[in-house]
Structure 1
Amino acid sequence: MRAITITDVAKHANVSKSTVSQYLNKRYEYMSENTRKKIEATIRELNYQPNIIARSLKQKSTFTVGVVVANILHTFSTQVTRAIENYFYEHGFHIIVCNADDDPEKEKNYIEMLRAKQVDGIIIFPTGDNLDLYQRMKRDQFPIVFMDRTIEDLNIATVMLDNHLAAKLAIDEFVARGYQDIAIITTSISRNISPRVERIQGYKAALQSHGLPVRPHYIKTADVAEIPHAMSEMLGLQQPPHAILAGNDIVLNEVLRYIKTRDLRIPHDVAVVGIDDVPFANFYTPEITTVKQPAIEMASQAAELLLNQINSTGEADTSVHRFQPTLLLRNSC
């Protein structure tokens, strides 16, 4: 049997090929409701499958975008990726998700692969170590948006959290509850990953605003495998911290695991707040206070910025869009 074509659909539905094309591109405003239903019924009756390759060649678009995630294990990354997929699906696009594992070389390979596949644009959680590649994409006027992390002087549209405020919300709550010996622990800042650096900066500024000293031995940055050792060092101090701010959800997991293995009590022995809400926060014992990122809103903003670049609508937006965090009060401090 020969393949059903758009011409067959148009003839069977008694409409023009251009009307069927408008329907396939979800431009329903160009037709009546009755025409839309008639084309829909015809496509179903004839079992018509659009030729995606031909459509791509004609419109010079693959209707595909890439998302390069730094670390898919982060709850925030998963939430954002899911929301991006939903946004683009509603606009007739598919997405390809790549996990860079915070490895610049892996990130580079994925970006080059996506461009070889001629995706229409890419949203990147940048590792920070591929400046030449980012600059080349910028010179090529290739649609690109950064998510969660910023790189100065590149003038690439970026969506991220107000990380200083995220740390401040946690420190303010600790202080309001009477804590003064407050520590922070994050994953490694060896590549100056902006959210981690900014959260430490926000932590320092918040302590100073309350007239509290900034103690260097209360600030720990470490790879995930080294977090238990960092916790041992802090809690083994002559004057150990009585409250700990976990810089992200993966750090929070390690902090809680360490506390549990040492039979410490939260908040009696040590209080805890985590940046990034986690699914178990509501039913952990005790419930964990967290600082939540508006992941859905951030993802929608990033997707909209990328789609605007793809469609070349208006002047290119190269600004940094900061979103406000929310403190979710529970029982861990």
Structure 2
Amino acid sequence: MAKVTMADVAKEAGVSKSTVSQYLNKRYEYMGHDTKKRIEEAIAKLGYQPNFLARSLKQKRTSTIGIIVANIMHRFSTEVSRSIEDFFHEHDIHAIVCNADDNPKKEKKYIEMLRAKQVDGLIIFPTGKNIALYESMIKENYPVVFMDRKIEELNVDTIAVNNKESTYHAIKHFIEAGHEQIALITPPLTISSRIERVEGYKQALSDHNLTLNPDYLKSVEIPAIQSELDKMFSLSKSPTALLAGNDLVLLEVLAFLKEKGIKVPRDLSLIVFDNLSFAHISEPTITAIIQPAYEMGKKAAELLLAQIMKENVTTPTEHIFEGRLIVRKSSEGYLFSK
């Protein structure tokens, strides 16, 4: 059976090939409703499938972009990816999502693979360890946007939340409730967002004349968190408040507290820096610093599309969004005397 061509569709609809091409590329400005309807019906009747490869060669674009997330297990990453995919779906551009596991070698492999597939641009949660590769993309004017992490020495559009300020407000919330023994646990300080959260923690303590206790500040791999918590809560003065640096840290904290019979908020006030699907329905409900993930993803997508289309391109800059402290029951109930 012969392959149905654009010429066949044009003949069936009684229009020119160029009109069918305009229809397929959604250039409807000067196309009447009846014409669009005839082309649509002709495509359905003949079972026409556009040749996307030929279109890509003609347009010098593949209508595909790549998203390289650091860890797809984080809800923030999935929300951002969903937002990006939604945006590009509306523009008939496909999105490929790759999970780098915060591994520089894996990240490099995905960047090279996606570029070999000639995707039109990349949105990356960078590990920060492939500087030469990032620089080469920037030098080539290849469309790229960084998400969540800043690489200070690079001139690239970057989307992030105000990590330092958001953490500062969370620690201040603890202090205003009467806490002095305040802990922070994060994964290793290998990326800007974690470093900034630690900076916000230290600044809040300093501004409120509280001494930094190094035993209350831990930045370790996820599997080591419960062991560090065991040491922390074996101290003569254990923490009365704790900020979990992200959602995966929180899960380890909750598992530890359950095993040790430590009750929230009676024995420990708790806040998490991350978006949680269950924060408002857990018992107790969990106080959280919420990142506007969907809005951040949309902004990243807009910036990338502008670079791809070479329209409304501005000087690369950092776009900083505000985190919101949503106070719930887990940070209430401080029953200790000063």
Give the TM-score taking structure 2 as reference length.
0.94
1:19 match: secondary structure: helix
Output the CA distance in 1 between the equivalents of 2:7 and 2:149.
48
Structure 2: distance between partners of 1:194 and 1:288: 25
In 2, Cα distance between the equivalents of 1:21 and 1:210?
66
Q: Distance in 2 between matches of 1:108 and 1:309?
A: 22
Give the Cα–Cα distance (whole angstroms) in 2 for the partners of residues 16 and 27 of structure 1: 14
- Matching residue of 2:18: 18
Say which SS state the counterpart of residue 29 (structure 2) adopts: helix
For the residues of structure 1 that align with 2:315 and 2:12, how far apart are their CA atoms?
Answer: 44
Shift of 1:43: 1.7
Preserved CA contact (<8 Å) 1:276 1:293: yes
CA deviations on 1:253-303 (whole Å, 9 max, x unpaired) are 111111111111001111110011211212221111111110110000001
Question: What is the distance in 2 between the residues matched to 1:279 and 1:53?
Answer: 40
Distance, in Å, in 2 between the alignment partners of 1:145 and 1:162 is 18
Q: CA deviation at 1:64?
A: 0.6
AA aligned opposite 1:63: S
**For residue 250 of structure 2, what is the aligned residue in structure 1?**
252
Query: In 2, Cα distance between the equivalents of 1:50 and 1:317?
Result: 36
Q: Structure 1 vs Structure 2: percent identity of aligned residues?
A: 51
In the TM superposition, what is the alpha-carbon distance from 1:41 to its structure 2 partner? 2.4
CA contact (8 A) 2:63 2:92 kept: yes
**In 2: Cα distance, 1:162 partner to 1:27 partner:** 40
CA-atom RMSD in angstroms:
1.4
CA distance 1:37–1:329, change in 2 (3 Å): farther
Structure 1 stretches lacking a partner, 5+ long = none
Q: Which residue of 1 aligns with 2:209?
A: 211
Match of 2:336 in 1: none
| Unmatched tracts of structure 2, length 5 or more | 332-338
- Please say if residues 306 and 313 of structure 2, whose CA atoms lie closer than 8 Å, have aligned partners that are also in contact: no
> Equivalences for 1:1-333 in 2 at 5 Å?
1-189=1-189, 191=190, 193-333=191-331
Q: Secondary structure at the match of 1:183?
A: strand
Greater shift in the superposed pair: 307-316 or 30-39 = 30-39
- CA–CA separation in structure 2 for the residues paired with 1:23 and 1:327: 48
Q: Residue type of the partner of 1:287? A: T
- Cα deviation code 1:86-131 (max 9, x no counterpart): 1111111111111111110010011000111111111100011100
Bigger shift: residues 106-115 or 278-287: 278-287
Deviant stretches of 4+, over 3 Å: 314-317
Q: Secondary structure at the match of 1:165?
A: helix
Paired amino acid for 1:293: Q
CA–CA distance in structure 2, aligned partners of residues 146 and 16 of structure 1: 43
- SS of residue in 2 equivalent to 1:268: coil
Name the CA distance, whole Å, in 2 between partners of 1:43 and 1:176. 66
- Contact 2:67 2:81 survives alignment (8 Å): yes
Partner SS for 1:85: helix
Local SS of the residue matching 1:29: coil
**Which range moved further: 118-127 or 201-210?**
201-210
Alpha-carbon deviations, 1:186-205, whole Å to 9, x = none? 0011x3x0110001111111
Q: CA deviation at 1:143?
A: 0.7
Query: CA contact under 8 A between 1:272 and 1:289: conserved in structure 2?
Result: yes
CA distance in structure 2 between the partners assigned to 1:292 and 1:26 by the alignment: 38
* Aligned-pair CA distance for 1:316: 4.1
For 2:108, what is the secondary structure of its paired residue?
Answer: helix
**Alignment CA distance shift 1:29-1:254 (3 Å):** farther
Which one is further off, 76-85 or 169-178? 169-178
How far the C-alpha of 1:175 sits from its partner, in A, is 2.1
On the 8 A contact 2:71/2:100 being kept in 1, the answer is yes
Secondary structure of the corresponding residue to residue 286 of structure 1: coil
Cα 1:131–1:12 shift into 2, 3 Å: same
